[in-house]
Structure 1
């Protein structure tokens, strides 16, 4: 007896009726009796109507013989459709156009593209497998995927996708569904499948939910044998069938029937594909499905074992299927179905009804007005920037954080950490490790899956020296199956690392495999990325350092370690993310084509041998590229991590950073003077000039003094006691090998600046003088050296490992500058280009800093962020505002305090920036061919590093071509309005 009162049972019954009444019918059904369908049906013979129910396999990579075989089937058997497998888009479209031309009735083109065209076709996009999509929390993103996959498949000339997989994967050992499922939670599976299906169908691509009535709880692959499911009807109805009911309610166009033996639904033991109780009784009558019913491939052993070709196809039709996928012997299939009609096993009327259904689908997808598919630009139109960006969004959204003890993710306090990374399963540097390098100084290790006991012990000993170990567990196989190749010694090391509180693991495998790794659940940080490819490795590394966040939820349970639905939210956006222009509202094509064009012209005209360009918007690095070579004569190509001499950009990257910090500490005042910091200037002509005027270059200082010239006598020889060939306590300053400057010479430089005359008129004249003195000004208010002050307060906590003076790097990573025939008489490579800076030991506030574009960007992005980066407030927002706004707006001086600002001529044309750069923007340029610029109004950062002074400083072509500012303008043109 029911435990519910009678009136509640009546309410429930009426509610169910209401739900059934709300079912959305498949969209093509309205055309089953259309004029076009009627007209086509009148032209078809009875056998041709049968042939409409048959779809044969086609390949675009099998040559002429295969093509002729398909044409023969089209011409002689009049098949209704083709399912395409391996090949490429161009060949597929070309062939499909030829096949359509040969066909009496337009062909229905299908593909099995569960994760997009990349599942089958070369040169196309593979989106994440459905297991990863099951972790995504935004169904809108899955719908967007459906729209995009639908668009791409339609562009490739096809109309039907045998997807999505709607199976609930509740068997971790399932060998055929597994990562192809949205997971084990029936509600999650139903939601994701519905969103994916609706997106594809809204793009006019018919879909089929598979594998009815549910292939998730099997441990047999139906490609090779017939799986058996022994659950009772109650269990099947409540679990396996649930997602199918939901997508049917939502109006899915098709359902694919699996090859399964399900005694509870059909006791005869026949495959479900051939079962009338399952297809007609359950799917059509009980569930009320009126759409297209498709068999799974009719060449699979799950259905062919013990069944003859042709006869098995006939049995599938008798069971209730509308469309036969991958019929092997078409002629025999038609003959056997004809025999069944003659024997009264099925009526011609029923065959005609199914043929009408196929034709209705063809009309719905537009084949009643068929036109050949355009071949031109097909790859570009399939692989659009928007399509590529969607893949990145899905990968990011799938990331699942299962452990984050003490908020170890994102990594903080970089200045206090010695960090190591280990890639398990490979001896090659991984993309994961290369991406980690973008954030901090990291020592990398690799351990193969079959590492010896000695290799494991050696690595274990080495890792003792690090405060944080970030590990990637890799797969590298095409599909994320449940296998684990790591040997016992490697697994033991993983267990030991995970037991410590300084371990973070990124898992690039099927989540079920976590259950095979003892102790992995004890790791302080654990990120599941589901697959192992370039994108998953990049975004996992970005998550660990806070470039992006995560909110994915585990779609399956992992033994007793983790349950479906587990997943911690981690806030991102504290450091750079590295992504695509579309992520920041910019156009990839504009950036790529126009920046490449301008750079190629500059290199062709020998304006510079090469360059690094970095563009970030909204703290997203959306363009980072290296061009050309180190010099015109060598073959060393510029790499993105090579370092450049920043020349005068040193001013805003060292002096201004330090002075703003001291300003906030009350140790540097803008109305103060040099005399307040440097006692020797108290009686000089510069004693009373305020820093407001000094930092805006209107202090009446001389532009510069060629200090190096003062080391020569009139006869061209060096002055006595200026240089020695060997270093010593008195001659410690290295100018070059065999040339060491006296220790007192920097004092002579300071004295020369102090004694230099002032210009008569107070006006803007750019001068290096103060910035040469800036280290001494800073050191007058701190116990640290200028370099240590900068490292401790800025570069180390920022993770800007290459930013610094006198770079201690291999020469092949340092881009050379000028061939100096005036002072050093040699090519300048590895030391500062500026003569004054080298005479100061390579350390100065006006020149001498080296960096690559990525590390320099961290400091500049901090400026752009109002002083914040990586979760740390370095400077106050009001400080940055004060120092970067035009100081004297009502004068001819356009400068800020130390920073450059847009400078316009009488016509309002910018002289030094992109025309569209805002008045709030600021930056600096450098003599060696550098430009950096920040625009807070559009949150845009631009870095251009080059060595235009090679081979000599007389090379002004970079200026005459205006390359830097032309590229700067491209960035504004690429911002989508």
Structure 2
């Protein structure tokens, strides 16, 4: 999908369902070697790509750690927190990172992570310092509108619905670029946005104005433009919530929604924005904790559904980027299985990134045990870790984590140009 030489190599070597092991191309020499000459390594062994080299450096335990994106508590990497101690057995965020080697972290105001520009810059730089082997994905839910986890530090941009109502895709792209630019200045490199749901149920308690609208075609064009805008800013983006959360009357934070769309209805109503996001080269797709019995009769939510995550998203839509779960502490995914089993089933279904496990130790041990027993094959583990490393490489995060700068961040955040853009969007 991507044009860089790195990704072309990895698409061949680690395509969905593959072993993750590159197949060497036979090299035929036209020059006879002396009988006693030692073989030349470069003639028989292809050079490793940066992603392959990074994967080879990781132990099995570290590979399992890469699958996780927890919430850490406190305003700095070195803040001692009773919450971190209770949840992770390590008192500071830096020690949690050192203990589990997660692929990333997600920041929130309610966990004490967002207080001031200087504080967030110090936190993100400190977290990266705690992960010298593989840089972290540092994420936030910065959708704008009512879901703005970096407020009030960032520009107060309108909701997706306000942008969708303009019918102007250039505004969707510009808003995403502005948001991404401000996030990157703070050291945040992954946005769990844009929302790709089509809000066709006016009683929807959780999506509403977070979506670009109720028309699948309109939403699709806006989502594709937003993905490009985030990439313009140099950060990764996520289309959510697959296979679609727009026709629900239950909030998956507190219950388990059931959507009775037929396959043809899903193709017509829910799929178009995700197809547009994939065409725009979206980095990640987030699953929904919703049951669609006509897509998978098992009764499991999409987050734990192989027919949905692998069958529809991977095989039908052709997506080979990172699949992230929605937050694993939500009620919608914890109805049938314990926290360790939920994590294992999500990986087996096709997920790569386990977001916000409510019990990190149980989830980590559950996945590690499944890998050691062969329930999750080592090839399957490598497949997910490769996707995560490839995302980091594509966004310039693998070789060296970029460092945020307080002075530069203060110039970018809530800038006059970004405030003017917000006024343009809401202007009659």
- Superimposed CA distance per residue, residues 659-701 of structure 1 (whole angstroms, 9 cap, x where no aligned partner): xxxxxxxxxxxxxxxxxxxxxxxxxxxxxxxxxxxxxxxxxxx
Partners of 2:3 and 2:152 in 1: CA distance: 31
2:358 to 328, 336, 351: 328
Aligned to 1:91: 119
Change (3 A) 1:166 1:371: closer
Partners of 2:175 and 2:369 in 1: CA distance: 44
2:80 to 57, 64, 78: 64
Q: CA deviation at 1:145?
A: 1.2
SS of aligned partner of 2:142: coil
2:181, 2:412 within 8 Å by CA — same for their partners in 1?
A: no
Matches within 5 A, 1:866-877: none
Aligned to 1:101: 129
2:284 to 230, 254, 271: 254
Matches within 5 A, 1:290-369: 290-367=320-397, 368-369=399-400
Aligned to 1:80: 103
Q: CA deviation at 1:160?
A: 0.8
- Superimposed CA distance per residue, residues 529-561 of structure 1 (whole angstroms, 9 cap, x where no aligned partner): xxxxxxxxxxxxxxxxxxxxx3xxxxxxxxxxx
SS of aligned partner of 1:379: helix
Residue 286 of structure 2 corresponds to residue 287 of structure 1 = no
Aligned to 1:39: 53
Aligned to 1:54: 68
Partners of 1:160 and 1:292 in 2: CA distance: 12
2:291, 2:299 within 8 Å by CA — same for their partners in 1?
A: yes
2:169, 2:221 within 8 Å by CA — same for their partners in 1?
A: yes
1:151, 1:203 within 8 Å by CA — same for their partners in 2?
A: yes
- Superimposed CA distance per residue, residues 206-253 of structure 1 (whole angstroms, 9 cap, x where no aligned partner): 111111001000000000001000121111111111211222122222
Partners of 2:168 and 2:176 in 1: CA distance: 13
Q: Gaps (5+ residues) in structure 2?
A: 14-47, 85-90
Worse overlay, 25-34 or 291-300: 25-34
Partners of 1:78 and 1:345 in 2: CA distance: 22
Matches within 5 A, 1:714-725: none
1:381 to 376, 387, 412: 412
2:267 to 237, 262, 270: 237
- Superimposed CA distance per residue, residues 115-161 of structure 1 (whole angstroms, 9 cap, x where no aligned partner): 18944333322211111111112211211112111111111101111
- Superimposed CA distance per residue, residues 621-667 of structure 1 (whole angstroms, 9 cap, x where no aligned partner): xxxxxxxxxxxxxxxxxxxxxxxxxxxxxxxxxxxxxxxxxxxxxxx
Runs of 4+ in 1 over 6 A off after TM superposition: none
Partners of 1:60 and 1:134 in 2: CA distance: 36
Partners of 1:341 and 1:315 in 2: CA distance: 12
Alignment root-mean-square deviation, CA: 2.1
Partners of 2:213 and 2:93 in 1: CA distance: 38
- Superimposed CA distance per residue, residues 479-538 of structure 1 (whole angstroms, 9 cap, x where no aligned partner): xxxxxxxxxxxxxxxxxxxxxxxxxxxxxxxxxxxxxxxxxxxxxxxxxxxxxxxxxxxx
Partners of 1:220 and 1:26 in 2: CA distance: 41
Q: CA deviation at 1:97?
A: 1.1
Partners of 1:145 and 1:60 in 2: CA distance: 29
Change (3 A) 1:31 1:223: farther
SS of aligned partner of 2:269: helix
Matches within 5 A, 1:234-633: 234-367=264-397, 368-396=399-427, 550=428
- Superimposed CA distance per residue, residues 774-807 of structure 1 (whole angstroms, 9 cap, x where no aligned partner): xxxxxxxxxxxxxxxxxxxxxxxxxxxxxxxxxx
2:138, 2:188 within 8 Å by CA — same for their partners in 1?
A: yes
Q: CA deviation at 1:371?
A: 4.0
Partners of 1:59 and 1:338 in 2: CA distance: 24
Greater share of strand = 1
Q: CA deviation at 1:328?
A: 2.5
Residue 142 of structure 2 corresponds to residue 113 of structure 1 = yes
1:114, 1:162 within 8 Å by CA — same for their partners in 2?
A: yes
Partners of 2:3 and 2:278 in 1: CA distance: 8
Aligned to 1:190: 220
Q: Gaps (5+ residues) in structure 1?
A: 1-23, 397-549, 551-977
Residue 173 of structure 2 corresponds to residue 173 of structure 1 = no
- Superimposed CA distance per residue, residues 929-974 of structure 1 (whole angstroms, 9 cap, x where no aligned partner): xxxxxxxxxxxxxxxxxxxxxxxxxxxxxxxxxxxxxxxxxxxxxx
1:165, 1:210 within 8 Å by CA — same for their partners in 2?
A: yes
Q: CA deviation at 1:361?
A: 1.6
Aligned to 2:20: none
Partners of 2:359 and 2:214 in 1: CA distance: 37
- Superimposed CA distance per residue, residues 571-602 of structure 1 (whole angstroms, 9 cap, x where no aligned partner): xxxxxxxxxxxxxxxxxxxxxxxxxxxxxxxx
SS of aligned partner of 1:114: strand
For the pair shown, which has the larger CA radius of gyration, 1 or 2? 1
2:199, 2:211 within 8 Å by CA — same for their partners in 1?
A: yes
Partners of 1:99 and 1:306 in 2: CA distance: 34
Partners of 1:250 and 1:75 in 2: CA distance: 35
1:31, 1:360 within 8 Å by CA — same for their partners in 2?
A: no
Partners of 2:3 and 2:68 in 1: CA distance: 21
Aligned to 1:206: 236
Higher relative contact order (CA 8 A, sep 6+): 2
Aligned to 2:24: none
Aligned to 2:18: none
SS of aligned partner of 1:369: coil
Q: CA deviation at 1:205?
A: 1.1
2:167, 2:218 within 8 Å by CA — same for their partners in 1?
A: no
1:26, 1:251 within 8 Å by CA — same for their partners in 2?
A: no
Partners of 2:410 and 2:49 in 1: CA distance: 36
Partners of 2:371 and 2:3 in 1: CA distance: 28
Partners of 1:114 and 1:299 in 2: CA distance: 20
Q: How many residues align structurally?
A: 374
2:237, 2:284 within 8 Å by CA — same for their partners in 1?
A: yes
Aligned to 1:919: none
Partners of 1:290 and 1:79 in 2: CA distance: 21
1:31, 1:364 within 8 Å by CA — same for their partners in 2?
A: no
Matches within 5 A, 1:133-144: 133-144=163-174
Partners of 1:73 and 1:349 in 2: CA distance: 27
